[in-house]
A and B are shown apart, each in its own frame.
Chain A
């Protein structure tokens, strides 16, 4: 009997724990930004990179005394919430940041699977949100409070299709992608559409798929090798790219492989080695040979974390800067609700922004219009600038 009472008491205590820690009132003089990022789950590296970039930026600004808003120098305060790479967890995390931590704005979630529902929440609760990495059009569509820092799939797909045609003289292409993941699937579809517009229907001779976390691609690659495609388009994350490139070469694929912005991670060359050298991919920025602010960012990041920043880190960096820029122009006046609305207005009114991933301007949906870069992986394994494609 007593045992059960203790048990119930423990339960009640955990309930108190969950709700006892409400946030402050949000009116104090700090710039509080919430991060809704995947620190566990399928893509923990994405969360880690975002957090690294954010911590670096916070340190830099707070060491300099804070962010200048109007007359005052305000310190930055970042709150990180793990969304476990799950849609429902992203919703809870967004609500927690908005309601309990009372943040001024949200950065993230990174992948569209979480960014779409979290964007809905942010918009309904009138809190500005910038997703650095979500390329699905739905994320920002008809949502005045939601913005993003990257280009969209409908832009990147045709860029890759055109590049494959011009560079490799390809008139038949193969596509291999993860059907269960939003980003590769969307991009593969836009690539197929654009490629078939150039070369006629049926010019994508092999369209093969697999499921997230698969490690063996031999059957799909056997089909691709036996189709007479001239180029393989592979809009996958870097870890899968390494596996696929190796297995493709083992099975006798010696034609070019073309990738997308998800290749652009420092880890790619660690994992892939020789098999990725000489390949091309479209992305937001090229780390090797970068200049100015971009170079400075890369060097600082390397010094702090011992690795080259990937595109997520760079885009998160830009997204925070866009948010802070809007905060500076809006100022912090009145209650939290008013502040959020003014930041949203400032974000919406932003004509162009000079970021480390290039100059961008925003259209009416809150999507940036910016140039894509085609990067060649040279024999030293560096990502070198090859050409730039602007809309």
Chain B
């Protein structure tokens, strides 16, 4: 029974959210904030895998988000929406709910292939040298999308709203909210499983000392490859969700600034702490929305808050601890490590 507590709570939360959204208790704006929260959770948790657990310094995470966003929306729009590029929908609307997660996963798969762009140089390059490889990857992906006119180039690509309405006409539910929630939970679960697996031990070993890890017969190249691909694949999931929530993607949304936001969330939460990433993603999203009325000053206040946080807690909100380390009684219900 205890093992089931967390899944049950999560299911109850999802049920509550859906009922509230259906009954009008959650207006669309609050829903959109919740959805962005889910997307940010995925972004920060997946980047934490590289920057926190593996101790690298990747600052081009938005590139993989962009790949995932474009690939999954191209697929869903081709399948389920009337579009100028792809013509009539290929499949009936009723299948959209079943195919949407598949499209998301396809986007994630392609994004993880792009992860190779960073993973392969990482065999030889470390630290700050790897950092600029990731920045370069970000610029390359953005510039490549800008140059493909078939998918809109700088003008962006749209039509995803029709896919979401197709899902809603199949079954009258707030589908994007459900997908965001489910995917965010799925991501945290995958990362937790990965970190606690044998591979995860290898990741920690690389973080501590790469050479020693290699000597202790850890196949560092393979672990780096898998970790980078997993992380960028998850970012691709976030991208796919983002594209369908906003209903429009353009390369300008995936600049180095977007990557910086993900980085900020990781370090704010604490390196190597999954619960820290989740908490900081939630807090960061709320902060962004709550400070809206300040307009220009918002972007002075938010960095100030973060600097102060760093001053008083130089290791981020959670440090490298998990929620279950801080509140040991929680260990009865779930374990992170």
Contact = CB atoms under 8 A, between A and B. Distances in A.
A15 interface: yes
A44 B246 contact: no
A124 interface: yes
A14 B287 contact: yes
Given A117-B248, A181-B154, A40 B28 contact: no
A21 to B, nearest CB: 8
A120 B161 contact: yes
B295 interface: yes
Given A82-B292, A117-B247, A11 B283 contact: yes
A258 interface: no
Interface string A10-52: 0100110111001000000000000000011000100000000
A113 interface: yes
Contacts of B143: 211
Interface string B229-266: 00000000000001001111111110000000000000
Contacts of A19: 30
Main secondary structure of the interface of B (DSSP, over half): helix
A107 B141 CA distance: 33
A54 interface: no
A82 B292 CA distance: 7
A182 B155 contact: yes
Contacts of B27: 22, 99-100
Given A95-B28, A136-B155, A113 B250 contact: yes
A18 B289 contact: yes
A82 B158 contact: no
B155 to A, nearest CB: 5
Contacts of A182: 154-156, 250
Given A88-B242, A98-B29, A120-B247, A14 B283 contact: yes
B155 A186 contact: yes
Interface in B285-327: 286-287, 289-290, 292, 295-296, 298-299, 317, 326-327
Contacts of A253: none
B286 A18 contact: yes
A98 B158 contact: no
A88 B254 CA distance: 11
A91 interface: yes
Contact of A82 (B156, B283, B295): B295
A81 interface: yes
A99 B28 contact: yes
B289 A185 contact: no
A93 B36 CA distance: 13
Q: Classify chain A: how many residues form its interface, as a range.
A: 35 or more
Which of the listed residues B283, B287, B292 has the most CB atoms from chain A within 10 Å of its own CB? Answer: B292
A179 B143 CA distance: 9
Contacts, number: 113
Which of the listed residues B27, B147, B282 has the most CB atoms from chain A within 10 Å of its own CB? Answer: B27
Contact of B29 (A86, A99, A211): A99
A180 interface: yes
A87 interface: yes
A151 B28 CA distance: 32
B299 A40 contact: yes
A124 B146 CA distance: 28
Contacts of A116: 156, 158, 248
A7 interface: yes
Interface in A85-103: 86-88, 91-93, 95-96, 98-100
A353 interface: no
B140 to A, nearest CB: 13
A18 B283 CA distance: 10
B32 interface: yes
A113 B158 CA distance: 11
A138 interface: yes
A44 B287 CA distance: 21
Contacts of A212: 252
A112 B298 CA distance: 24
Contacts of B245: 88, 91
Nearest to A91: B246
Contacts of A100: 27, 29
B250 A87 contact: yes
Given A14-B287, A40-B299, A88 B317 contact: no
B154 A180 contact: yes
Interface string B154-168: 111010010001000
Contacts of A99: 27-30
Interface string A171-195: 0000000011110011000000000
Interface of A: 1, 4, 7, 11, 14-15, 17-19, 22, 39-40, 44, 80-82, 86-88, 91-93, 95-96, 98-100, 112-113, 116-117, 120-121, 124-125, 136, 138, 179-182, 185-186, 211-212
10 contacts: A15-B286, A19-B30, A80-B295, A81-B292, A82-B295, A82-B296, A86-B253, A93-B292, A113-B156, A120-B161
Given A117-B246, A180-B251, A185-B155, 14 more contacts: A11-B279, A11-B283, A17-B286, A81-B292, A87-B246, A91-B32, A92-B32, A93-B292, A95-B32, A100-B29, A113-B156, A138-B155, A179-B147, A179-B153
